[in-house]
Chains A and B, each alone.
Chain A
Amino acid sequence: MDLVFAPQGEAWSGVSRQLARLRRSVLAGGLAVVVTVGTVGLWRLVGREAALGLALAGAGVLAWGWWLVGRGWRAWRYAERAEDLLISHGVLFRKLVVVPYGRMQYVDVTAGPLERRFGIATVQLHTASPATDARIPGLSPEEAARLRDRLASLGEARAAGL
Chain B
Amino acid sequence: MSAAAHPDDTVTAVEGAGAVPDLTAFRRLHPSTPFLRGWKWLLAGGAVLSRDAIGRVDVAQILLTMLAVLVVGAAAGAVSWWRTQYGIVGGDLRIESGVLFRRSRRVRLDRLQAVDVVRPLAARLLGVSELRLEVAGGAKTEAPLAYLSEQDARDLRAQLLARAAGLDERTPEAPERPLLSVPLAALIGSTLLSSSFLTGVVITVLLVAGVVVSGELWLVGPVLPAALGTATAIYRQLVANYGFTVSESPDGVRIRKGLLDTRAQTVPPGRVQGVAIVQPLLWRRPGWVRVDVDVAGYAGGSGDAAGGSPSTLLPVAPRPLAVDLVRRVLPGVEVDAVPLVGAPPAARWLRPLGWRRLAVGADARVIVTQEGVLQRVTTLVPHAKTQSVRFTQGPLQRRLGLASVHVDTIPGPVDAVARHRRSAEAARMVEDQAERARTARRSAEPERWMQQ
The contact of A160 among B411, B434, B441, by CB within 8 Å, is: B441
Contacts of B409 in A (CB 8 A): 129
> Is A92 a contact of B136 with CB atoms below 8 Å?
no
Contacts of B388 in A (CB 8 A): 97-100, 103, 127, 129, 131-132, 134
* Residues from 366 to 424 in B contacting A, C-beta threshold 8 Å: 384-395, 398, 403, 406, 408-411, 415, 423-424
The contact of B434 among A5, A98, A131, by CB within 8 Å, is: A98
* B240 at interface by CB-CB < 8 Å: no
> Is B431 a contact of A7 with CB atoms below 8 Å?
yes
* B437 at interface by CB-CB < 8 Å: yes
* A44 at interface by CB-CB < 8 Å: no
* B281 at interface by CB-CB < 8 Å: no
Contacts of A7 in B (CB 8 A): 427, 431
> Is A95 a contact of B398 with CB atoms below 8 Å?
no
Contacts of A83 in B (CB 8 A): 434, 438
* B96 at interface by CB-CB < 8 Å: no
* A84 at interface by CB-CB < 8 Å: yes
Contacts of A96 in B (CB 8 A): 390-392, 430
Q: How far is the CB of A157 from chain B (nearest CB, A)?
A: 13
> Is A128 a contact of B441 with CB atoms below 8 Å?
no
> Is A129 a contact of B395 with CB atoms below 8 Å?
no
Contacts of B406 in A (CB 8 A): 131
A84 to B152, CA, bound (A): 45
A3 to B111, CA, bound (A): 40
* A102 at interface by CB-CB < 8 Å: yes
> Is B424 a contact of A4 with CB atoms below 8 Å?
yes
Interface string of A132-162 (1 = CB under 8 A from B): 1110000000000000000000000000111
* B363 at interface by CB-CB < 8 Å: no
Contacts of B426 in A (CB 8 A): 4
Of all chain B residues, the one with the shortest Cβ separation from A83 is: B438
Of all chain B residues, the one with the shortest Cβ separation from A94 is: B393
Contacts of A162 in B (CB 8 A): 111, 113, 136, 273, 296, 385, 410
* Residues from 254 to 275 in B contacting A, C-beta threshold 8 Å: 270, 273
Of all chain B residues, the one with the shortest Cβ separation from A84 is: B434
Of all chain A residues, the one with the shortest Cβ separation from B384 is: A160
Of all chain B residues, the one with the shortest Cβ separation from A4 is: B427
Q: How far is the CB of B435 from chain A (nearest CB, A)?
A: 9
A5 to B389, CA, bound (A): 13
A97 to B393, CA, bound (A): 12
* A112 at interface by CB-CB < 8 Å: no
- Which of B136, B387, B410, B431 has the most chain A CB atoms inside 10 A of its CB? B387
A3 to B398, CA, bound (A): 13
Q: How far is the CB of A99 from chain B (nearest CB, A)?
A: 4
A3 to B137, CA, bound (A): 36
- Kindly list 14 other residue pairs between chains A and B, CB separation below 8 angstroms, not including A92-B394, A127-B387: A4-B391, A83-B434, A95-B390, A95-B393, A97-B391, A100-B434, A100-B437, A102-B441, A127-B408, A129-B410, A131-B390, A160-B384, A160-B444, A162-B111
Could you list 9 examples of A-B contacts with CB < 8 Å?
A: A4-B424, A4-B426, A92-B394, A97-B390, A100-B441, A128-B410, A131-B388, A160-B444, A161-B111
